[in-house]
Amino acid sequence: MNTPIILESVDVLKYMIHPEWFDGRPGQPGTPLRPAVADYLVAEIVRDIAANLKKTDLASKLHTIGKELATQASLGMVKAWEDGDDWCGNGRMWWLQHHLPIPPGPPPDPFYRQLFMTPAMNDLVLAQVLRELALLTNHEPSRNAIREAGEMIVKNAATTVYDEYIKTQFRAPKPMTKAA
C-alpha cells in the first residue's frame, strides 16, 4: 500500500473508531467496532507502514510491533466471541442502514507525489501516521511501542531530510525572451 492510501485508510479508521468522530454528533451510540477488531485494523495498517518505510531496521521492528498487536487483537476477538459478543458493538447495526459519507482523505493531486518523492520525507509522513495510530489502539504496550518507533523514525529521517535539502541544487529561473 502506498503512502497516500495509508493516509486515507487512517482517516477512515479514525472516523470509525473514535466514538465522537464516527457520526459527528455528540451523544450518539458510538463506534460500531469492538476494541479488538479496531486493534486488528490498526495492526494491519502498521504492517503496511512497515513495508513502506525506507529504513529496513526500523521497518522490521515496526513489523514485529504490528504482529504483536495483531496477536493480542486476535486473542481479544476470541475472548469476545466466547462471551457472546458481536463484532459490531451491542447489536447496534444502525450505522449500516444510513448512508454515511466516507470521511475526506488526502486528495490525489501532484503535491502528494512531489512530497513523497524523497524517502526521508515519506518516512516523516509515515511517522506522523504512526502517532495517530498509537492514539487509536487499546493495547497499551503496543501503543507505547508504536509511539517510540515513530519517534525513532523522525529522529533518523530529520538529519536525512536536511542533507537532502542541502544537496538539492538551487536553479534561478531563466529570463524570459521577448518574441520578435
Distances (CA, A) of 117 to 4, 144, 172: 12, 29, 21
In the numeric block, which cell numbers belong to residue 159? 538529519
Distance CA 101, CA 16 (A): 12
Contact 45, 9 (CB under 8 A): yes
Domain boundaries, the chain: 3-86+107-166
DSSP letter (8 states) at residue 33: S
Length of the chain in terms of residues written: 180
Q: What pLDDT is recorded for position 45?
A: 93
In the numeric block, which cell numbers belong to residue 149? 518507533
Contact 134, 143 (CB under 8 A): yes
Q: What pLDDT is recorded for position 79?
A: 81
Distance CA 5, CA 106 (A): 8
User: Tens digit of pLDDT per residue, the chain (180 long)?
Assistant: 788 788 888 887 877 776 555 555 555 665 667 788 889 999 999 999 999 888 778 899 999 999 999 999 988 888 877 665 554 444 444 444 444 445 555 555 555 555 556 788 888 889 999 998 998 888 899 999 999 999 999 998 888 888 877 777 667 777 777 765
pTM of the model: 0.72
Distances (CA, A) of 142 to 15, 60, 78: 21, 15, 19
Q: What pLDDT is recorded for position 152?
A: 92
Closest CA to 130 of 112, 155, 111, 110: 155
